[in-house]
Structures are given as C-alpha cells and as structure tokens.
Amino acid sequence: MEIALGSLRLPKPENVFVNSTNMKHMLQWNPISPDGHINGSISYSVQFQGEFERIHLENTWRKIFECTNITVNQCNVTVDIASDVEYDLKVQAHLGIMTSEWAFINKLFSRQDTILTTPTLTVKVSENQLRVKVAEVEKNIEAHIYYWKDIADPQVNNVTIDQTKNPYNLDIEKGVTYCFQAQTYIFKYNKSSPRSKPVCKLVKNPTPYEILITVTIVLLLGTAIIMVFLVLTWKRCQWIKSSLFPKISIPSVSSFDDFPPNGMKRVDKSNEDYDLVQVFTQSELLLNGYPARDSMPVQTGPLKIEEKTNHSTGQDSRSSNCVVSGNASQWPDSMEILCCKAYQSQAVSI
C-alpha cells in the first residue's frame, strides 16, 4: 500500500465498523501504520448519512465536528445516530496536504442492532435500606431487578427501574442476607441482556455500642427539643403577661431613716443673722422720742445695708432696730413696724 506522491494520496483506513453496546455507538477502524514513506501524525475525519439525507437531500453527507481531524482511530457517533433508521458512515485519513480515499462501513447501521451486555450490579447498605444500582441503565434502557432473602425457600421478587429510579432503595430487615440479580432490556426492540450473577449482602444487627450511641443521640435530641419548647413557652407567657399586665414603675422616695424621730430636722441657727424687733404702742413711741407715724419720712427705695466686719469673730454683723407701733390686739390693721437702721438717719415704714 504505497503512497503515490504525485497524486498526494494516503492509503485509506481499513476494517471500518460500528461497535454498538448498550445504545452507545462507536465508529472504529484500523489505524494507518507508518512506514518509510509516511512521516508525521495522521489525523482522521468522519461523516455520516441518514435516510433523510439519502432520500430528500440527494445523498448529501454531514460532518461530525467532534470527529474532525482527530488522531485516535474511533469516534463516538451516539448523538448523531438519533433515530431507528439505517445510517451510512465513512472515514478519511489526513497528513498535511495529503488525504486518503473515503473508507465506508461494510453495511448500513441501525441502532436496533445494539448489543445489551450483562449488567454491572452494585449493592450498598444505607441505614435501614439497601441501595441497588445498575450501571447500564440509560435513557432508552431499563432493568429488571430480582431479589430474595437467602433462606431455604426464598421468594423471588421483581421490580422494574428506569433512569429516574436508579439507584433503587429497598427497605430491609436487620440480620438478614439479601441477594440480587439484574437484567437490562429495551422494550421497543424486544431485546434483553443476560442476567447478572447474584450479589448477596448481609445486613448486620447493630452492635451494643451502636445501640448506645443511637439511644444517646435520641435522648440528647429529645432533651434539646424539650428545652427549646420550654424556653419558647416561657417567653410567650412573659410576653402575654407584659401585654395584659404592664409593669408600672414606682417613684423613688428618700428613705425615712434620713428623718429624725420627731419628724423634723433640727437646724443650728446660732450663727444666723437676724434683726432686733421691738413692739411699742403709739404712746410708747412718743415717750421714747420717736415721731408720730404721719410725720416720719418714708423711704420708697430698697434699703442699703452696710456690713461691718467683726474681726474677732470673723462674722458679719448688722446693727438695726425695728419698732412696731399700734395695738397688739388690733394687729395687723392698727399696728405698724418701724425698722430703724442704726447707720441710717431716717426710719422706714413697712
């Protein structure tokens, strides 16, 4: 299989076929083996043609962009083969400006020819359930799961799952061994796979340590829930109480201990300044040389008090005499008080 340099042609790929298992379609071919005339990396491009392209589009071909200038010798065409019609596929080799002729599959391919392989079954224990998963369950593939208890006369149960129910959860009993088998199928093609080998799983009884931990966790959670409930109930009661019976603040009152036993606080008045007042009748005023009330001048302005300092006592002393005239029995209408300041030359009628 020589390269014709003048025609710039590579040898075409050989043994082109579609390997389809479990609705996954892979186009494969034998890679071109390098020899003395081939130097460099060879790439490949793939195109397909469906029934629509053959009949309605005059045998046109469509590129598979994910499989253009690839360096591996296979291409996933699952997305492009999207219906149950027959497809034709071809592949071409490239090296620089050199290309090969197109290499075709031996016969048209239909995805109904896919092969269902023996399913892969996994079983895991999850708390009080067994999780059963079938790896081959896809969009168009469903599975039958057969399960039974590993006892002398088991009863085989059957459940059907699709992509939305995979994995399947099964409620179980503690201390029992369960066995499982799976079988995939495509209903519209009436096609099924062989059954898988049985997978058995023992569901162990909980150990005393696990029981103790479980009981402790349950008690702690129960206690926490009760405490939260009590706190919320107490706060609710306090809120209702404060709403119905609002708290009234009492004004602050000085302690009665501050008052003396007789109820009055004694004040030292020994150093208090005061004026000397003498009460006279009208006749006594005349005998003492004071003029009659009508002839006494009256000072209407404020008295000016002249303060004299007693240097021996350190206190202010004021010299004043007040005289009250009138009949004491007729007080206060016919009696008047005359205050005479020793340092002033006139008396003031008050």
Comparing 5 with 203, the larger pLDDT belongs to 203
Of 330, 338, 333, 324, which is closest to residue 281 (Cα–Cα)?
A: 324
Q: What is the mean pLDDT of the chain?
A: 77
Q: Which residues are within 8 A (CB) of 33 and not within 5 positions of it... i.e. 6 or more apart?
A: none
Give the predicted TM-score (pTM) of the model: 0.55
Q: Is residue 96 situated within a structural domain?
A: yes
Q: How far is CA 133 from the centre of its chain?
A: 33
Neighbouring C-alpha atoms within 13 Å toward the C-beta of 199: 20
Same domain? 43 vs 100? yes
Q: Is residue 28 situated within a structural domain?
A: yes
Which of 178, 203, 228 is the last residue before a domain boundary? 203
Q: Is residue 346 situated within a structural domain?
A: no
Same domain? 52 vs 84? yes
Q: Is residue 91 situated within a structural domain?
A: yes
Q: Is residue 95 situated within a structural domain?
A: yes
Comparing 158 with 207, the larger pLDDT belongs to 158
Same domain? 26 vs 96? yes
pLDDT tier at 337 (50, 70, 90 boundaries)? very low
For residue 105, the model assigns a pLDDT of: 95
Same domain? 23 vs 44? yes
Q: Is residue 145 situated within a structural domain?
A: yes
Cα-Cα-Cα-Cα torsion 280, 285, 289, 293, nearest 10 degrees, comes to 130
Q: Is residue 45 situated within a structural domain?
A: yes
Which of 77, 96, 113 is the last residue before a domain boundary? 113
Q: Is the pLDDT of residue 278 over 90?
A: no
Total structural domains within the chain: 2
Q: Can you list the pairs that 346-349 forms with residues at least 24 positions away whose Cβ atoms lie under 8 Å?
A: 346/296, 346/297, 346/299, 347/290, 347/296, 347/297, 347/323, 348/298, 348/299, 348/303, 349/293, 349/296, 349/298
Q: Which residues are within 8 A (CB) of 211 and not within 5 positions of it... i.e. 6 or more apart?
A: none
For residue 118, the model assigns a pLDDT of: 94
Same domain? 133 vs 108? no
Cβ contact 186:179 at 8 Å: no
How far is it, in rounded angstroms, from Cα 26 to Cα 19?
5
Same domain? 104 vs 29? yes
Q: Is residue 208 situated within a structural domain?
A: no
Of 156, 226, 229, which is closest to residue 195 (Cα–Cα)?
A: 156
Cβ contact 284:299 at 8 Å: no
How far is it, in rounded angstroms, from Cα 289 to Cα 17?
158
How far is it, in rounded angstroms, from Cα 155 to Cα 147?
8
Cβ contact 288:245 at 8 Å: no
Same domain? 77 vs 133? no
How far is it, in rounded angstroms, from Cα 73 to Cα 76?
11
For residue 139, the model assigns a pLDDT of: 85
For a pLDDT cut of 90, what percent of the chain falls above it? Answer: 41
For residue 114, the model assigns a pLDDT of: 94
Say which amino acid occupies 51: E
Of 68, 63, 77, which is closest to residue 17 (Cα–Cα)?
A: 77
For residue 79, the domain's CATH number is: 2.60.40.10
Same domain? 100 vs 128? no
Domain containing 169: what range?
121-203
How far is it, in rounded angstroms, from Cα 100 to Cα 94?
7
Same domain? 46 vs 99? yes
Same domain? 89 vs 154? no
Same domain? 149 vs 180? yes
Which of 67, 87, 113 is the last residue before a domain boundary? 113
Q: Is the pLDDT of residue 134 over 60?
A: yes
In this predicted model, what pLDDT tens digit does every residue of 163-206 receive, in sequence order?
Answer: 999 999 998 888 889 999 999 999 999 999 999 999 998 887 66
For residue 300, the model assigns a pLDDT of: 42
Same domain? 106 vs 132? no
